[in-house]
Chain A
Amino acid sequence: MPVVKADALPVRTERDVVTARQAVRRMAQELGFSLVDQTKMVTAASELARNTFVHGKGGDMQWEILHDGERRGLRLTFIDEGPGIANIQLAMTDGWTSGGGLGMGLSGSKRLVNEFDLQSTLGSGTRVTITRWKGGV
């Protein structure tokens, strides 16, 4: 799939989380996403960036602008080298939390995007990729 533009942003502080979601807002706007779709992508990015910072001990958010024929999309990949997730199925359950949160971060952000992929290895890190296409699907 043709990637038109790509880069990465650090996700190592709370401020980085805010900067990352502002960047996602700008890209979603430029792609012509509806206001609701922009908000969904920004919110999903906020949840995942916070996970990268809090649970993954910091990492990066890679972004890619996708053109697939007529389709326009935004793909984000959150990468950390933190402790990893012991039980992915459990972590994806609504309401399950490793502490502090509401347990809606992973399962909730999956509902906000069109494509969701989670890879995690205990002791070596986590990689979450989300994609949202303009106009859904």
Chain B
Amino acid sequence: MAERIPILKMGEFLLVTIQVDLHDQMAMRLQDDLTTTIERTGAKGVLIDISALEMVDSFIGRMIANISSISSVLDARTVVVGMQPPVAITLVELGLSLSGVQTALNVERGMEKLRESIAGEALHAGREG
């Protein structure tokens, strides 16, 4: 149970690439590790690359939704990138819509999406203040 999913810091973003078949404890641990890392680094955005995942069931889906909600409370945006089409089809049929979770087709577009949403918020905050 020692395996951990590495969390890389890239500027003000965190990048997580899931490359192994996750068992439930690993998913829970990733959720905890990410929360701690966002808090410690003050990261503004989290990119989760799931392009290597061949399956997302309700447990992993819930973990993704949780990470997105928790990071949002900690003032960081989450974008999930690279979901394989069969995984997306299965997830919807299973009944998980992952509403509230931002997605992008690949890491580059996900990064753009994060930058845009952070820039948009800064602009908005600037106008108000």
Chain A residues with CB under 8 Å of chain B are 14-15, 17-18, 21-22, 25, 35-36, 38-40, 42-43, 46-47, 50, 94, 101-102, 104-105, 107-109, 111-112
CA A21 – CA B95 in complex, angstroms? 19
Assuming A18-B22, A36-B85, A104-B95, what are 5 further A-B pairs, CB within 8 angstroms?
A25-B55, A36-B90, A39-B54, A47-B57, A108-B58
Once the chains are docked, how many angstroms separate the CA of A17 from the CA of B60?
13
State how many angstroms separate the Cβ of A104 from the closest Cβ of chain B. Answer: 4
The answer on a CB contact under 8 Å between A18 and B23 is yes
Q: Is B61 an interface residue (CB 8 A)?
A: yes
Consensus secondary structure, chain A interface: helix
Contact check, A39 vs B95: say whether CB atoms are below 8 A apart: no
- 29 A-B pairs (CB sep. < 8 Å): A14-B24, A15-B23, A17-B24, A18-B22, A18-B23, A21-B21, A21-B55, A22-B21, A25-B54, A35-B86, A36-B85, A36-B86, A39-B84, A40-B90, A42-B54, A43-B55, A43-B57, A46-B55, A50-B57, A101-B58, A102-B61, A102-B96, A104-B94, A108-B58, A108-B93, A108-B95, A108-B96, A109-B94, A112-B90
